[in-house]
A and B are shown apart, each in its own frame.
Chain A
């Protein structure tokens, strides 16, 4: 058991990838074996991730050095001449939060996929790709190495693009996949260029060591260019305006479980953005300018996302536009915290809460927006249409799906007692201290979200029953079971926000704000 705990940082990435490869070998033994290997891979990786997160939250940050005689080996091997060549995973409280989110959502999405993709062909490719996507996301949130982050970013992009296009859909899904792949490739190359500039300047790839080094050497023009080259693609990957155009296309064309997990991969990009903004450059750059920039992006995302969502008729497209708007909330809290990072007093009064609220919203969003995608996917699974105008009266025949969708819709609109209310409340309160106007904008957007989801709920589940869907039944047990898991989580997170806040979110926020706890001057590591 201790060995498993010791190696859990490697297992979270190793297990999904091993399962993906095993699937290629055992795919000839039939569907049952394949499904078992797939689900076992996801579930075991989740267990490893949860135990790792527990370990981090109770005992402090974990470092895991790869390719060394022991996981606790120093970053600089004795015979390397002082060059830190080793790759390591570095999980602190913020990473633990992301691990928990990914673990819970991946199990639900995988459970759902077992049934929802049953009728599709080519499952021998679907399962390995999904496993790669999950492994890539775990890698992104666990890694402590910039180039490693790029590799995992590309793994998630590739797997995500292939999964998006997986149901070719008369070329429409392929178009969405191409769009996602082109955007991610350009973004990935930009990120790589940024990493290259930092490497050329400082000869380091380790984020912790690099953060300390940049603090020491000063923040010059090359660092500023590198930061822009790294932050812009990550903002794009998490779907912030003005680079959000890919989100509705990709999320709406991907199969429902894939959309639900692609949300988490966007969250992982957002986590990368936070990590780079706070831990890598937070000590040295002009935080108030960058913070203000993030806040502006956030307000634009919130507003443009919701206004684009209202006129939509395609249910998944509508939810995708809301995803852009919800990303705005997360950027808002983080932007406010970043903007006041230079002033410890302000950080103590509201900056820390703003960041914690933003992380809380990240967690909730992954759960309830995933739930919405799964529920919408369930309706599409049974009715075969994604057009809201052609649905109606499904509440009588699909009550479980209706209940789950209702929970998700209440949460995204920020109605108590759902989780969305709790995180939005924390955000309103803390952002109000920074600028009351921003808080008002956030509330107005929340109202618009509510209006939009009242319309959707009415169009899908209420009204007269349609003859065409009279014989529709509720979805199979695995599918509504997956939805129920996320729905229960949504309610629980809303009912006990204090526990989550104290145990998980404030440590995570502190891990980002206290850069010196993360950064590690090389002298100390040797």
Chain B
């Protein structure tokens, strides 16, 4: 069933899928989208590889370990940001980077505006953490399911 043409075109599209997902993640605090949606878009790249017949590439053990690391590190960053608010004297999940200057620290203009990327405090960082985590998580789900499907068919 595997078609070489479909496989190659899918591998050309793979990085574009990832980049688009990353765009959705990083602009999460300005436009519709955010961590989960962007992460899901990134994971579709993995799904694309699987359905296009590049199955063996996508589910290589080395890749799966990488997905697991994505998941763990994304979650760790998220919780660390949440605890950071506590360490900075606010409550859990306090947005301690907002309006503080520096990293995503610019103040948001009041009312409707064009939107500046360098705003939002911890929110863009949390979006990024969630995006990476969701990418890893959904990829693991996909790979596990496809593997189980193959096992059921073969065994």
- Set of chain B residues within 8 Å of A67, measured between Cβ atoms: 85, 91-95
Give the distance in Å from the alpha carbon of A25 to the alpha carbon of B71 in the complex.
Answer: 9
Give the distance in Å from the alpha carbon of A70 to the alpha carbon of B95 in the complex.
Answer: 11
Within 8 A of A (CB), among B69-94: 71-73, 75-76, 79, 82-83, 85-86, 89-94
Interchain CB contact under 8 A, B90 and A70: yes
Q: A14-B82, A14-B83 given as contacts; is B91 within 8 A of A21 (CB)?
A: no
Interchain CB contact under 8 A, B91 and A65: yes
Closest to A124 in B: B68
Q: Say how far B133's CB is from chain A's closest CB, in angstroms.
A: 9
Interchain CB contact under 8 A, A14 and B94: no
Interface range for B: 10 to 19
Interchain CB contact under 8 A, A21 and B86: no
Interchain CB contact under 8 A, B90 and A69: yes
Size of A's binding interface in residues, CB under 8 A: 18
Give the distance in Å from the alpha carbon of A70 to the alpha carbon of B92 in the complex.
Answer: 9
- Set of chain B residues within 8 Å of A518, measured between Cβ atoms: none
- Set of chain A residues within 8 Å of B91, measured between Cβ atoms: 7, 10, 64-71, 73
Q: A18-B79, A18-B83 given as contacts; is B94 within 8 A of A24 (CB)?
A: no
Interface string of A46-69 (1 = CB under 8 A from B): 000000000000000000111111
Q: Say how far A389's CB is from chain B's closest CB, in angstroms.
A: 35
- Set of chain B residues within 8 Å of A73, measured between Cβ atoms: 91
- Set of chain A residues within 8 Å of B71, measured between Cβ atoms: 24
Q: A10-B86, A17-B79 given as contacts; is B72 within 8 A of A24 (CB)?
A: yes
Q: Is A448 an interface residue (CB 8 A)?
A: no
- Set of chain A residues within 8 Å of B72, measured between Cβ atoms: 21, 24-25
- Set of chain A residues within 8 Å of B76, measured between Cβ atoms: 21-22, 25
Jot down 17 A-B pairs with beta carbons below 8 A, ordered by A: A7-B92, A10-B91, A14-B83, A21-B75, A21-B76, A21-B79, A22-B76, A24-B72, A64-B91, A64-B92, A67-B93, A68-B94, A69-B91, A69-B94, A70-B90, A71-B91, A73-B91
17 new A-B contacts at CB < 8 Å, known A14-B79, A65-B91, A70-B91: A7-B92, A14-B82, A14-B83, A18-B83, A21-B72, A24-B68, A24-B72, A25-B72, A25-B73, A66-B91, A66-B92, A67-B85, A67-B91, A67-B93, A69-B94, A70-B89, A70-B90
